[in-house]
Amino acid sequence: MVVHTYTQQMVLMPLPMMGYMYEAPMKPFELPAPAPTEETSESPPLGIFPSPFAPIFGPRTAICVLRTDMDQEGDISGGVFVTQELEGGPIILSGTVQGLKPGNHGFHLHRDPISANDCNTAGPHFNPFNVSRRHPRFLARRVNTHGGPNDKNRHGGDFGNIEANELGVAFVSIQIPGDMISVESGGEMGIIGRSIVIHENEDDLGKGGTPESLKTGGAGKRQACCLLMNLPTQPTK
C-alpha cells in the first residue's frame, strides 16, 4: 500500500454553524493512497489535504492556508475557507488570521498563483471583466477600478478589509456577490489556483482620491498570502 505523508501548520478555524474551533494537526499524518481504478492509477496530488469540513461545506468550497511573505518580518499564519452554495450565488469567506498588527488590513484575491512564499508573484487584483470584455450583468464594456466588495464598480478580487484585534488576530467573516467570481477551477470567473493576499495597511476601497487608490486601495506591502485549492468533498479512505 502506498502511503502519502501530509504536513500541516496549526490553523484555528471558526465554524459558526457548529460553535467550536477546529485545530488542524501540527504533526505529519498519513493517508493511504486510493486503490487504482480503470481510469487512472496515479496517486492524488500533494498539497490538497483531506478535511473533516468537506461534508459540511459541500462541493463548491476552497481552502487557503496563509504564510508570511518571504521578504516580510513577523509570523503571520491562518486559513480561509471560501464557499459558494450555488453557481452565481453569494460567496462567503470565513477563517482566522494570526500575527497581524492591530487594525485594518487590505484583503484581496489576486490573479496568479503564488510561487513559494513570494506574494509578489500573485500578480494584480483579479479583475476578470476589465477592458474589452463584456460582463453579462453590464450593459457596456467598461474599465473596472478598485472599490469595496459590494460596489458596482470594483475588481472581482476586492474583498475589502479584515480587522485584527489587539492580539493581532483577525476573524474573517465576509460575504460578497457571486457576479464576478466563482468557486471553481478554470473559466473567466474561477478562483481555484489564484491567490489571496493580506496587505500591510487598510484598503481605502478606492475612495482615497489618488491613482493608487483606484488600483490597489493604497493598502501597501503584501504581508501574507496563500494559494486557493479545492477542498475534497469526500473523506479519503
Find, among 91, 48, 79, 20, the residue nearest to 233 by Cα.
Answer: 48
User: Quick one: pLDDT at residue 57?
Assistant: 56
Considering the domain boundaries, does residue 30 fall inside one?
Answer: no
Write the CATH number for 138.
2.60.40.200
User: Quick one: pLDDT at residue 151?
Assistant: 84
Catalytic residue among 60, 67, 155, 194: 155
How does pLDDT run across 175-213, given as a tens digit for each residue?
998 888 999 888 889 999 999 999 999 999 999 999 999
Q: Answer for the pair 177, 213: CB distance below 8 angstroms, yes or no.
A: no
Catalytic residue among 69, 158, 203, 204: 158
User: Is the pTM for the entire model greater than 0.95?
Assistant: no
All three cell numbers of 178, joined, read 457571486
Considering the domain boundaries, does residue 28 fall inside one?
Answer: no
Considering the domain boundaries, does residue 35 fall inside one?
Answer: no
Indicate if 146 belongs to the active site.
yes
Considering the domain boundaries, does residue 8 fall inside one?
Answer: no
Indicate if 105 belongs to the active site.
no
Considering the domain boundaries, does residue 164 fall inside one?
Answer: yes
Residue located via cell numbers 475534497: 232
Catalytic residue among 60, 110, 135, 154: 110
User: Quick one: pLDDT at residue 202?
Assistant: 96
Number of domains in the chain: 1
Indicate if 110 belongs to the active site.
yes
User: Quick one: pLDDT at residue 96?
Assistant: 96
Find, among 99, 102, 4, the residue nearest to 46 by Cα.
Answer: 4
Amino acid, single-letter form, for residue 148:
G
Considering the domain boundaries, does residue 125 fall inside one?
Answer: yes
| Res 226 pLDDT > 90 | yes
**Could you tell me the residue range of the domain that residue 170 belongs to?**
50-230
| Res 54 pLDDT > 80 | no
The neighbour count for residue 225, using CB atoms within 10 Å, is 26
Indicate if 158 belongs to the active site.
yes
Catalytic residue among 125, 135, 154, 194: 125
Q: How far apart are CA 132 and CA 29, in angstroms?
A: 48
